[in-house]
Structure formats: C-alpha cells, structure tokens
Structure 1
Amino acid sequence: MARRNANGDGTIYQRKDGRWEGAIYVYTSSGMKKRVRLYGATRAEISKRLTEAKAKHEQGVPVADKSWLLGDYLDYWLDAVVKPNRRAATYAQCETIVRLYLKPRIGKIPLNKLSVPLMQRFINQLLSDGHSVSKVHVIRKVLSASLTRAEREELIARNLARLVELPQEEPKEVKPWSVEEVSRFLEVVKTHRLYAAYLMLFYGLRKGELLGLRWQDIEVANSKIHVRQQLQRVGRQILIGPLKTTKSRRDLPLLDPVRLALAEYYEQHRVKDTELVFTTVEGKPIDPGNFLRDFKKVCQTNGLRVISVHTIRHTVATLLKRQRVPDRDIQLILGHSRIVTTQEVYQHDDDDSRLAALQGLSGILLEPIEAKTTQSERSGLPSNVIDGNGSRQISRQAAGFVDRLASIISGGAYRIRTDDLFHAMTTHNTVADRVTEVDQRFQALRRTWLVGAVAVSAAVKDLGGDDVELAA
C-alpha cells in the first residue's frame, strides 16, 4: 500500500502524457488558500519544486491570486494606484508611456517570468530605435514604479527594473539670464498687458503657480502672496490642481513694485467674475503653452536671448546666490523639497562669478609672494638669510599666511567675510607681535601683583591676631 502524504505536503502523480504534476495548497496575497499546480519532466523535479513552494508558504510568502501579464498589471496599477493618488499630469504621463512603449513591447510577458536579461534587451532596443537617453530613463522610471508596487503586493520577489544598466543621463545645459538681461527684459515689457505676471516670475514661481494665482491669495494688508494651487494643461483640458510638493506651499512677501504693478493690472485689465489673477481678455485661464509662446515672442521681438519660462527659476536661484543669500532661504523661496535640488540643479555659475572666485584665490596666494619680492628688492638680500642664532628666518610668504591666520583667530577677516569689515582692518599684526604684546601685558600685571603683595605683607606684620583674621 502506497504511503499517503500528510496534509500540507502536496501530492505528486504522473499524467497520461508522461509528464509529472504536483499540487499544493498555499495562501495568496489576498489571504485566501489556493491550490497551485506544478509541472515537470521527472518526479524528482516536481518533488524539489513542491519542497520550495512549501518552504515559502511556511515563511509566510504568499503567491499571486492570479497569473498576471505585465500589460494587465500595468492597467491595474494605473487605475488603482496612480490615478487616485497622483496629480492628473503625472497620471497622463504614466498612461502615455504605458500605452506607447511598455504594453506593445513587453506587455504579453507574465509578471513572474520577467528577468534582468529580458529587461536589458528591452532597454537596449529603445536606445537602438533612436530614443534619447533621458526619455529611456523616464520609461524605466515608470516601469520601476509599477514593479515596486507589485513587489509590495508580494506578486514578485524583487524589482528587476532597478537592476538594468543605462547610460549616464547628460543634463541639459541651462544658462540663466544675467542681471543686464533681466533689467532689459523688464524694461521692454513695461507696457505689456501681462507686465505684472512677467514681473512676478522673478519670485521664482513655477509657470503653473503663477497662472493659478487667485486674487484671494494676494493679501495686501499683510503684504503677502500665498502660493496654494497651480494651473496645468492635461491633454486637452486646463485644470486647477494641487501644488507639485508640500514644500511648494509657501508665503512670499508682496514687494512694492509688484504691488503697484498688480494694482495697475487690476484697474486696467481685470475681468470681472473671475478668481484668477491672470486671465485672457475674455476672462478664461491662460493656456501655459500660449504663455510660453508669448514670452518667447517678446524676447525675439526685442533682441533678447530666448530662454524658457522655467529657466527664470534658475535665474532667480543664481542671482540670489550671487547676493550671498543662504541656500536654505533660496530653497524656501523656490519651493523645493530638498536643498540639494536648489544647490545642484538651479544654482549656476558664470564668467563673472568664476573671475571673482579666482581673483580672490590669487589675492591670497600671490600677494605674499609680491610682498616678499618687494622687500627683497629693498634690502638687497635674499629672504632666507641666516640670523645670528643660526636659525633660518621665516619667509615672507609663510609670514603672510600666518598673518592672515592670526587675523582670523583674532576675530577679524581676510577675504572671507564682508568687505566692510575687511576694509576696516587696516593693520594685520604678526603672531610674533601678538605674543610679545601678550607677554608685556602679563609682565605688567605681575609687577602690579607683586607690589600689592609686598604692601599687604608689611601691613599684616604691624597688626595683632584679630586684625590678621579680619584682613585674611
């Protein structure tokens, strides 16, 4: 009589076609029990696979409720995860990538059959078809987000999209406007209907934040501008939605030039019964694409270097950096979630800033050498003359470095603090001078103390015991 397997061990039997089949009950990701069937060429193969399935079951690793194709799971992910939890623009972007690139190419592959080589071939094919590296990065990002969700739902063991190798994405070079270009732009748009909007761009507002601004967001009494929503085009619709991140919700000061420009716009161009500040002549929301085209047209007409509206945010960050505004304040003005974004993406250097930095460095390094040369020419002697004690004199260059170090220690500054403080410091004592000064002061105090001690000792000798105790 054949041995009967215990409950939970599963069963193994040979099919009529000669193949072997195994079956075992395991829990699914929804908490229900499901009978899983395994197929193989030999009994030993099925026995091994049943043992592995049983081990995962005992470890609490569930199986999928059904066999997902990647395309079907992507549809589920879009409808159940992205659409209710992300902004409309984010959903539109993910849906486009799924529809155009993911489902047609790898949508028919079972979710549990995905592999790193398969993913790598898919990415390589996209690059071979001529898609840019930045675009392929976005496609991989969307695929990875969906597989991360599948991993959380315990449908797959790991996110294979993260293991794919891609060429390094080359960031697009951004060249912000200079102070002169900003001044010229503001001068030529003074008579434009949307002058107030163009002026407010230099708050570092995003295009959608500017076009989504409401009159109720402008608090004249407290001189505040409240950034609370944004306007976006999604497909063929123009929608009002939440801000990009929680840090995008911010309050900015209402500066006098902006307040005056808004007041003039309110009197001359405001359309009644609309809550948005900036609208079309008919009172409708301004299409972000049309706003960008109008901005570029102004630049081209007036001979200005054409940039995107978003590049003005880079311009604001860079100009604030040149004004030595702390990075934390710039981050809050721009509404970035992380300060590293402000520092690495939005702040740029230019020829003037590089020139100033290198001039400051040359001042530190070369000034002592020039001083050494001048002194040598005056004395007619080299700077490394042996003194009477047989020790080598400190070179002028080293003395200059120590001089600056002593200046910093003493609370002053040498090209590291404000210029006013630097110019106020007309002399820089050397370390030797400082040590001599301290020693002289100490000797004077010591002499004073000795004179006092002698006087007290003499007075004590002339007094009785009670007076001694009082004096002590």
Structure 2
Amino acid sequence: MTKRRFGRVRKLNSGRWQARYPAPDGIDRPAPETFATKTDADRWLVNKEAEILSKRWFDPARAATPLEEFAQSWINERPGLRPKTLVLYNGLLRNHIKPHIGKRPLNELTPPELRAWRKSLLDGGLGPVTTAKAYRLLRSILGTAVEDRMLEFNPCYIKGASSEKSPERPTLTLPEVYRLTRAIEPRFRALVLLAAMGSMRFGELAGLQRRDVSLSRGVVKVRQAALELPTGALRIGPPKSDAGMREIYLPDLVAGDLHVHFELYVKPDADAYVFTGAKGALLRRSNFQRSWRKAIRKAELPLNLHFHDLRHTGNNWAAESGATLADLMQRMGHASTRAAVRYIHTRDSRQRELAERMSEHLIADLNGAAVEGRDEDDGGAVPALTGT
C-alpha cells in the first residue's frame, strides 16, 4: 500500500470517511465535513494541499470571527486616524453594520447577503451618501480580512456601491448672502461672509484665532479646526487633511465687516477665538444651528440650506471668476482634484466669451503670418480659410 504524501483519511463507525491535514499554523486540522467515499476524502486533501502550496489557505477558526469583533479591532488598529474620521467609522459600524450583520461570522458573509444588507439601508430611508460610506467601510474591513488570510475573497463587489453621489446642493447669489447676514445675529455676520467668500468649513471657522487673521493683508491662515464629538466634547486639532493647512486671500468686499467684527467681538489676545457664542464660549455647531435656522427663515431662503452650502457657493464664485483647478484645490484645502473639478463648469455666456477671445487670438496670429509671408503681388491680403 502506497504511503499517503499529504494528510490522512480514516473510516468512521458511521461508515463515512474523515480527512485530516497538517495546517501551515502547525495544527492538525480535520475537514469541516465527512465524506461518503474514500475517493471523495482523497480528492478533498489534494485540493487542500494545492491551497496551501499556492498560499491560498486561510485559518478556518479565525474566519469564523464575528464581523463586529473584527471590524471594531480594524478601526482601533488604524494608525493616524483623525478624530473626525474615527467618529465617522465608529458611527457607521454602530448604527448601520452591527445591527444588521454584526453577529455574522466573516466566512459566512456572501455577496447576495451584502446586497440585501445594502438594499435594506436604502429602503429604510438611509441616504445614498451615508449608505455608500458604510459599504466602503465594510469593503475595506473585509479587504483586510483577505490580506490576513481569514477569507479567500472579498464578498463586497457591488459595482458603484461605494461611490458617493451627493445631490446638487443649493448655491446663493451675492444679494442672498447679504440678506442672510442681515437676518442672522450680528456676531455671526462675519462668520457667514468668511464661509462664503473664503470657502471655509464650519470647524475651521470655529477654530480660528486672532493670530490667524491679518486684517491689513486680508489673509486668513487655516492651521486648526474645532470638532464636536458625539459625547459633546470639543476638540481642537489639525484640519481635515494636510492640504487643509493653507492661506486664504479674501475679497476686499469682506474687509469692512471683518474689522467691525474684531472691534466688537474678538478679545485682544493673540490666541483669542474669532468666533464665539454670546457668553464667550467656543462656537458649537449644535448651538449655532438655532441661530442658523432662524436666520434662513427670516431671510426667506430655502429651509434645506446648510451652512456648508456657503462654502459650495464660494467655490462656485471662485470658479466663475476664473480660478484654475489648482487655484480651487488650494482655496478649498484639497489634495485631490476630485472635489475641485466639479466647480470647473461655466455658463454658456462664458463659453461664448472664450470662443470670441480665441477667435481674436487666432486672427491676430493669422494676420501676423500674412504680413511675414506677403509679396508685392498679393498686396498682403489675409488668406481665406476654407474647409477641406
């Protein structure tokens, strides 16, 4: 009888056959099921050996880890996560992943089950953007499980499911912005103007200090931002990304309001915060919302207008004023072109102006060429342009 090269099989009292093999982790492991014939058990061992030799073997015990346990460890072990990102990941896991599929073992998650999970989020009223964030987080978590040899493949592969397609947000005209500044509490007038004309985020404005603003130059330096945690605690830290550390040059239009604001509401210390509540405390988004909602109603603006839409408005103004993609990325504080490129769109009138300027430029070049190449016979006439 030929000695078996890999693993072994034996017949059980039940008449079925069991297969066992030496796993790469040094443990003698049984097949997860028994087999009707010795041939079936032998065939299973051949496939298992091929898995190990091709580095496709994964630990079945670790693969049975509940998703919620592995996901929480994944978040806790991510190096360098910013506080806001940490809050986002924990919130997505707690609210949208754990309640539905958190108890499921990793190796039992299937593509159909994850499709059904995603559909249940959307059918339950969760917005498409948040659903995409949750799906993208789960895909990253399970991708690490594949890298750790806990899964053979990632079951998250719904095409486009992780792409965020935010609905177009409203933008304001300059008269509407000023109508809003007249409707809001005077201490927040400059806040609205900086958000719109400086394309600044709420957290960046809340973290702004006197030392960060040069009134004489009309320049704001963004070096930190305020983040309100779910616990209610406020944390001052670096901006959303490294690209968020930037200098913003403000239109002269805002200079007068900014001077008045500093005279009335900002203490003389260099580390005094530029925007605070009525009692001098750090500005909180949760408290500011009351003033914001009251102001947009008074100004008769859309009730779905968000404070962040002022930044969207400012980005559009900058693009329409001729800002290049690089200009927008710098102003917005983005390292990627993805967010900035959406603002590089123009009105038909601007396209007409561009066409006219191109025509003037080309005719000037053509005239120059005609002058250089003319002779006494043609009198220097501009050659006709004909199609071929």
Query: How high is the TM-score relative to the length of structure 1?
Result: 0.68
Q: Which structure has more helix as a fraction of its residues?
A: 1
Aligned mate of 1:79, from 53, 76, 81: 76
- Report the alpha carbon displacement of residue 10 of structure 1 after superposing the two structures with TM: 1.3
Query: How high is the TM-score relative to the length of structure 2?
Result: 0.80
Aligned to 1:400: none
Aligned CA RMSD, in angstroms, stands at 3.6
- Report the alpha carbon displacement of residue 144 of structure 1 after superposing the two structures with TM: 1.1
- Report the alpha carbon displacement of residue 259 of structure 1 after superposing the two structures with TM: 5.8
Deviates more, 1:12-21 or 1:226-235: 12-21
Q: How does 1:8-23 map to 2 (within 5 A)?
A: 9-23=6-20
CA contact (8 A) 2:266 2:273 kept: no
CA contact (8 A) 2:265 2:274 kept: no
Aligned to 1:439: 375
Q: Name the SS of the counterpart of 1:78 in structure 2.
A: helix
Q: How does 1:197-236 map to 2 (within 5 A)?
A: 197-201=191-195, 202-219=197-214, 224-235=219-230, 236=232
Inter-partner Cα distance in structure 2 for 1:18 and 1:71: 40
Q: How does 1:18-417 map to 2 (within 5 A)?
A: 18-27=15-24, 32-38=25-31, 39-42=33-36, 43-64=38-59, 66=62, 67-81=64-78, 84-163=79-158, 171-186=166-181, 192-201=186-195, 202-219=197-214, 224-235=219-230, 236-253=232-249, 261-270=257-266, 275-305=272-302, 307-344=305-342, 346=343, 353-354=347-348, 356-357=349-350, 408=362, 410-411=364-365
Aligned to 2:383: none
TM-aligned CA distance change 1:443 to 1:323, over 3 Å: closer
Q: Name the SS of the counterpart of 1:193 in structure 2.
A: helix
What is the identity, as a one-letter code, of the residue corresponding to 1:253?
Y
- Report the alpha carbon displacement of residue 340 of structure 1 after superposing the two structures with TM: 3.2
Q: Name the SS of the counterpart of 1:325 in structure 2.
A: coil
Q: Name the SS of the counterpart of 2:186 in structure 1.
A: coil
TM-aligned CA distance change 1:275 to 1:16, over 3 Å: farther
Inter-partner Cα distance in structure 2 for 1:127 and 1:220: 48
Residues matched between the structures, number: 371
TM-aligned CA distance change 1:121 to 1:14, over 3 Å: farther
Q: Name the SS of the counterpart of 1:440 in structure 2.
A: coil
- Report the alpha carbon displacement of residue 57 of structure 1 after superposing the two structures with TM: 1.8
Inter-partner Cα distance in structure 2 for 1:25 and 1:177: 68
Give the unaligned 5+ runs of structure 2.
381-388
What is the identity, as a one-letter code, of the residue corresponding to 2:202?
K
Inter-partner Cα distance in structure 1 for 2:228 and 2:240: 14
Aligned to 2:386: none
Q: Name the SS of the counterpart of 2:156 in structure 1.
A: helix
Q: Name the SS of the counterpart of 2:248 in structure 1.
A: strand
Inter-partner Cα distance in structure 1 for 2:109 and 2:309: 40
Inter-partner Cα distance in structure 2 for 1:179 and 1:50: 73
Inter-partner Cα distance in structure 2 for 1:406 and 1:225: 39
- Report the alpha carbon displacement of residue 275 of structure 1 after superposing the two structures with TM: 4.1
- Report the alpha carbon displacement of residue 360 of structure 1 after superposing the two structures with TM: 5.7
What is the identity, as a one-letter code, of the residue corresponding to 1:243?
P
TM-aligned CA distance change 1:118 to 1:251, over 3 Å: same
Q: Name the SS of the counterpart of 2:135 in structure 1.
A: helix
Inter-partner Cα distance in structure 2 for 1:35 and 1:234: 48
TM-aligned CA distance change 1:146 to 1:312, over 3 Å: same
- Report the alpha carbon displacement of residue 61 of structure 1 after superposing the two structures with TM: 3.7
TM-aligned CA distance change 1:158 to 1:249, over 3 Å: farther
CA contact (8 A) 2:133 2:164 kept: no
- Report the alpha carbon displacement of residue 192 of structure 1 after superposing the two structures with TM: 0.7
Deviations 1:109-168 (A, max 9, x none): 321232222222333333444444444323212211211221222322322212367599
CA contact (8 A) 1:70 1:106 kept: yes
TM-aligned CA distance change 1:19 to 1:283, over 3 Å: farther
What is the identity, as a one-letter code, of the residue corresponding to 1:343?
V
Q: Name the SS of the counterpart of 1:99 in structure 2.
A: helix
Give the unaligned 5+ runs of structure 1.
365-403, 413-428, 445-472
Q: Name the SS of the counterpart of 2:176 in structure 1.
A: helix
CA contact (8 A) 2:325 2:344 kept: no
Deviations 1:428-471 (A, max 9, x none): x799xx48971228999xxxxxxxxxxxxxxxxxxxxxxxxxxx
Inter-partner Cα distance in structure 2 for 1:230 and 1:322: 28
TM-aligned CA distance change 1:85 to 1:44, over 3 Å: farther
TM-aligned CA distance change 1:123 to 1:17, over 3 Å: farther
TM-aligned CA distance change 1:339 to 1:131, over 3 Å: closer
Deviations 1:267-289 (A, max 9, x none): 43235886432222333211113
Inter-partner Cα distance in structure 2 for 1:253 and 1:127: 41
Q: Name the SS of the counterpart of 1:105 in structure 2.
A: helix
Q: Name the SS of the counterpart of 1:160 in structure 2.
A: coil
Aligned to 2:4: 5
